[in-house]
Amino acid sequence: MRFSFAIWTFVLLAGSLGMSQGAEVHSRQGVAFAQLSADRTSPDIGQWLSEKVVVRHVHHAAVIGRFASAVIARTSLLAQRLTKSALRFLGVPYVFGGTTSAGFDCSGYVQHVFAMHGIRVPRTADAQFYAGQHVKQLRPGDLVFFQTYEEGPSHVGIYLGHGRFVHASSSRGVMISTLSDAYWANRYLGAKNLIH
């Protein structure tokens, strides 16, 4: 992990200097050796690039920890904003093909809520299912999918946490339901993530 971070840092540095093409990274006893090829760069710096650059490992755990914490915090904040925005539409009626606050279908509702935060998602439940990344442990902001009126993913909602999700129900409009409800539990296909 630490060694790969040093290589990754070097590759990023090399890329920012326009040297990413033709860079080969080798390792020996915890030291990364980068052989830079001069054939894909301008001739005036060919001499410099033909030299081996040695990148020694430096302990970056604190930097990595701060970076990871910031990413998680931003992701969690986005999930909070998504779920808060989703709840604004409680009670909006169901309209087949609806994508506005005048009336939503399930996937139009999800698409609308995500678009409020600059996130583009496909229009239909099945396309949203295939666009997302499978998750094992649900988090707020994840999409939950169900097989309802046709084979495959045909209904979608936004997970709120604690076993609850918000969705545009064909019978009651935008509402909150629980995954443990017998109807939904029997039709549950899985969850996908589009923001983490």
* pLDDT per residue as tens digits for the range 100-144: 999 999 999 999 999 999 999 999 999 999 998 999 999 999 999
26 is catalytic: no
Higher pLDDT, 28 or 59: 59
Structural domains of the chain, with CATH: 2-59 (no CATH), 78-193 (3.90.1720.10)
57 is catalytic: no
Using one digit for the tens of pLDDT, what is the confidence trace for 155-187? 999 999 999 999 999 999 999 999 999 999 999
Cα–Cα distance for residue pair 163/191, rounded to 1 Å: 12
Q: Which of 60, 155, 162, 196 is catalytic?
A: 155
167 is catalytic: yes
